[in-house]
């Protein structure tokens, strides 16, 4: 199957089961369990690792046709089926009721895996993570009897299934069952008027990009630029910060690329230009060149398409890694990044380190309130390379692994230091479970889940006692 995003991994299942309803999923799961076939599920198809596209998968359940978005008057919440893409969800919620959810910036990503991994996006500094607005989830599970059943779990304290809801607020996909539907309602919402139950986006956002030519940056100016961005984030990422409306992704590509780019949006109807000016001024301190600057006011719905990329039909092979940061990268880490990005023996333009703004309202939620325990970080740092052709695998995998290991050299090659806060499960990286690449003594599940892992294991034992739903980084029953 080649629909997956990362062509390093292919699956050739015996059965592909398209589903248009929960009943379809129930039937497909029952058949797979009865015949002893390993199951995987796909919504958008954007997994970076072989958690879905694995040769051992024998039954693949495809949810892409389950894309309804409706208001559920009984639950006073918005129901979004798991095959819906982010772009579809944003469009239907906004055009129907004038509301949105603070999810990711790539409109082709499927809701199914994005939500249960604790997705973040351009509005998260203002409104928290998407899971902070998750009210309920419908999951097809396989209990002790070995039969598939559907369960709705809510965040209501009186709900006996509440722990199953909690596990889907950041516990990752493919662990406990198959999500078929999500319901969203903000935790502080009251009443039953739909237009008041989720965040309302601004009428317009200021979409911007800043470009610095690589050819005019030496090591000192590179360090100063990245340091400036880090210090701005440290100053402007507290919950309630006036700068929470500003979201940015600083892309630091390998030197054959022509530019370093900071792109993002300012999501406020008043004062957007002043917030951007403040950021530009902060970035320019001690940096000898000014960036080429572009910005435009876009209607909010149009802005949700501004970060788009091609859907799951990618022909790229790729690898991604990540690390939450409580503070900016140190100067030594920035020097290390510069060294790898300017290596004369690599010379490949489509490899990069990126630093995304984080914090704000995300950090106003208690670490145990959801299964996302990373609630005191101001940045999410990513490492990504994409290429074509299996013959190039060793070259590119070596580069990204060396970069990551050297950035975190003081903590065993992974983000386990005092200023680090682990890794993001939706940027799945099986290297974290490999002692060749993780010499920290911190297990992979502690990097992804911290102290919540034992609680996730309890949920696993109750709702998936036969370990039907498993993959390379799945929650282990014991």
The domain segmentation of the chain, as residue ranges, is 15-200+456-463, 204-450
Position 312 pLDDT exceeds 50: no
Helix (H, G, I), strand (E, B) or coil at 293: strand
- Give the pairing of strands 15-18 and 59-62: parallel
Q: Tens digits of per-residue pLDDT, 186-207? A: 999 998 899 999 999 999 999 9
Tens of pLDDT, residue by residue over 160-179, are 999 999 999 999 999 999 99
Query: Which pLDDT value is given to residue 53?
Result: 77
Q: Which fold has domain 204-450?
A: Vanillyl-alcohol Oxidase; Chain A, domain 3 (3.40.462)
CB neighbour list of residue 36: distance below 8 Å, 6 or more residues apart: none
SS3 46: coil
Whether 365 contacts 131, CB under 8 Å: no
- CA 455 to chain CA centroid, Å, is 22
Q: Tell me what the pLDDT averaged over the chain comes to.
A: 94
Asked if the model's pLDDT at residue 51 lies above 80, the reply is no
In CATH terms, 15-200+456-463 corresponds, of 2.40.50.140, 3.90.230.10, 3.30.465.10, 2.70.98.10, to 3.30.465.10
Angle (deg, nearest 10), helices 219-235 and 272-283 = 140
Reported as type and span, the H/E element at residue 340 is helix 331-341
pLDDT band at 14 (very low <50, low <70, confident <90, very high): confident
Query: Does the pLDDT of residue 311 top 60, yes or no?
Result: no
Can you give the pLDDT at residue 357? 98
Those residues with Cβ within 8 angstroms of residue 37's Cβ, 6 or more apart along the chain or in another chain? 14, 15, 31, 58, 59
Please enumerate in sequence order all residues whose Cβ is within 8 A of that of 241, keeping only pairs 6 or more positions apart, or say none: 125, 360
> What is the mean pLDDT of the segment spanning 331-335?
98
Cβ-count burial of 451 within 10 angstroms (0-12 exposed, 13-18 middle, 19+ buried)?
exposed
Task: Compute CA distances 266 → 218, 235, 237, 359, whole Å.
Answer: 30, 17, 14, 15
The pTM of the full predicted model, rounded to 2 decimals, is: 0.95
In which band, very low, low, confident or very high, does the pLDDT at 3 lie, cut at 50, 70 and 90?
low
Sign, Cα dihedral of 385, 251, 117, 328? positive
Q: What is the pLDDT of residue 253?
A: 97
Number of H helices, E strands in the chain: 12, 15
Q: What is the DSSP string of 143-205?
A: -TTS-EEEEEEES-TT-TTHHHHHHTTTS-SSSSSEEEEEEE--TT--SS-GGGSSPPPPSEE
- Digit-coded pLDDT (tens) for 398-444: 999 999 999 999 999 999 999 999 999 999 999 999 999 999 999 99
**Rounded average pLDDT over 73-82:** 97
pLDDT tens digit sequence for 214-256: 999 999 999 999 999 999 999 999 999 999 999 999 999 999 9
| Gap between the Cα atoms of 87 and 363, Å rounded | 25
């Amino acid at each position: 199957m080649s629909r997956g995003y990362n062509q390093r991994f292919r699956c050739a299942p015996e059965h592909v089961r398209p589903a248009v309803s929960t009943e379809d999923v129930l039937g497909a799961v029952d058949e797979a369990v009865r015949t002893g076939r390993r199951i995987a599920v796909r919504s958008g198809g954007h997994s970076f690792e072989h958690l879905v596209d694995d040769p051992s998968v024998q039954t693949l359940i495809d949810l892409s046709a389950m894309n309804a978005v409706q208001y559920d008057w009984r639950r006073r919440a918005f129901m979004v089926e798991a095959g819906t893409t982010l772009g579809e969800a944003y469009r239907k919620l906004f055009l129907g009721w004038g509301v949105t959810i603070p999810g990711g910036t790539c409109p082709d990503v499927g809701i199914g895996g994005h939500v249960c991994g604790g997705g973040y996006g351009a509005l998260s500094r203002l409104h928290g993570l998407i899971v902070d607005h998750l009210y309920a989830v419908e999951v097809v599970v396989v209990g002790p009897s070995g039969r598939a059943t559907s369960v709705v779990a809510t965040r209501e304290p009186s709900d006996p299934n509440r722990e199953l809801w909690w596990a889907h607020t950041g516990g990752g996909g493919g662990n406990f069952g198959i999500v078929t539907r999500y319901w969203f309602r903000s935790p502080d919402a009251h009443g039953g008027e739909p237009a008041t139950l989720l965040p309302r986006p601004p009428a317009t956002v200021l979409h911007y990009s800043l470009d610095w030519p690589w050819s005019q940056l030496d090591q000192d100016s590179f360090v100063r630029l990245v340091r400036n961005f880090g210090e701005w984030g440290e100053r402007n990422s507290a919950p309630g910060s006036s700068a929470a409306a500003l979201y940015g992704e600083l892309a630091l590509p390998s030197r054959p690329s022509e530019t370093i780019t900071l792109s993002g949006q300012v999501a406020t109807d008043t004062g957007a230009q002043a917030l951007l000016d403040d950021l530009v001024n902060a970035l320019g301190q001690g940096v000898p060149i000014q960036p080429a600057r572009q910005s435009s006011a876009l209607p909010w719905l149009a802005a949700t398409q501004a970060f788009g990329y091609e859907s799951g039909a990618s022909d790229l092979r790729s690898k991604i890694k990540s690390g939450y940061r409580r503070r900016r990268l140190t100067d030594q880490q920035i020097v290390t990044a510069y060294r790898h990005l300017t290596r004369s023996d690599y010379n490949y333009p489509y490899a990069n380190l990126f630093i995304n703004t984080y914090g704000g309202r995300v950090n106003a939620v208690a670490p145990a309130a959801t299964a996302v325990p990373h609630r005191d970080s101001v940045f999410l740092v990513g490492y990504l390379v994409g290429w074509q052709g299996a013959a190039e695998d060793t070259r590119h995998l070596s580069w990204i692994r060396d970069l990551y290991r050297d950035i975190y050299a003081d903590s065993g090659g992974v983000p386990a230091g005092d200023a680090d806060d682990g890794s993001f499960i939706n940027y799945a990286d099986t290297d974290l479970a490999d002692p060749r690449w993780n010499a920290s003594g911190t297990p992979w599940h502690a990097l992804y889940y911290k102290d919540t892992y034992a609680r996730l294991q309890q949920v696993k034992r109750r709702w998936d006692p036969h370990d039907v739903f498993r993959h390379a980084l799945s929650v282990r029953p014991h």
